Amino acid sequence: MMKIMNILSLKRVPDLFWTAPTPFTIRPPAISILFLLLGLIVFGFGHAILFAANLGVSPWMVLSQGITVQTGYSIGWTILAVSALVLVLWWPLKQVPGLGTVVNSFVVAAVIEVSIKFLPTFDHILAQSFQALIGIIIIATGTAVYLIANLGPGPRDGLMTGLQKVTDLPLAYVRNGLELLVVIVGWSIGGTAGIATLMFAIFIGPLTAAAMQFLRHLFDQSK
């Protein structure tokens, strides 16, 4: 129980050997770039597994679907608009963009496009649920690795870290609160939520915090 509480109480992204000194830099450390890309590749692969499970999309995709239903715009344009709006919300939160903010969508989209073609699909609900859970765990791991690189989060992860700094709440609580709010709003305006959507909203916060704690336990030399 104490270990669970320690995970849920994590309030900041840890600094490890691949952490860049600052997100906005012209010459980021090579090791930071390497782990940024590694994290984003893992992140994208996790999303591909989640899509292959076919039990629902992530909460932010539900929101984009709902906006598409209400406005008639294509899902692609809606996703871009939502990302742009989230970036605007960074301003009052004093979040700093970086290389990771720019390359996030491109790397993740490419990994999903390539890997989803080779992933198995299942018809049984238990197998699909297990596949979705594996995908969410991998997404959380990739999120932890690339955020620790400190080269700029993606729009949604930046909103999470920005809100954490303002509220001083643990990262797991902030992430879960955001995901649940987004899926409720998206579903209420016409987005489609499934079992995996709810699993994502409930588990992504604690699993991301757990991945960060695990990586800190492995690599933090200052302990």
pLDDT per residue as tens digits for the range 111-164: 988 998 899 999 999 999 999 999 999 999 999 999 999 999 988 899 999 999
CA atoms within 13 A on the CB side of 117: 4
pLDDT score of 3 more than 60: no
Three-state secondary-structure class, residue 94: coil
Residue 75: φ, ψ to 5°: -65, -35
Mean pLDDT (whole number) for 203-223: 86
Q: How confident is the model at residue 4 (pLDDT cuts 50, 70, 90)?
A: low
C-beta neighbour count of 177 within 10 angstroms: 16
pLDDT score of 188 more than 50: yes
- Report the alpha-carbon distance of residue 181 to residue 22 in Å, rounded: 30
pLDDT score of 2 more than 50: no
Task: Identify the DSSP state of 207.
Answer: H
Domain boundaries, the chain: 28-214
pTM of this structure? 0.89
What is the per-residue pLDDT across 46-100, written as a single tens digit (0 to 9) for each? 999 998 998 988 899 899 889 989 998 887 788 888 888 998 999 898 888 889 9
- Return the pLDDT at 221: 59
The answer to whether 171 and 160 have CB atoms below 8 angstroms apart is yes
Question: Could you tell me what percent of the chain has a pLDDT over 90?
Answer: 59
Task: Identify the DSSP state of 116.
Answer: G
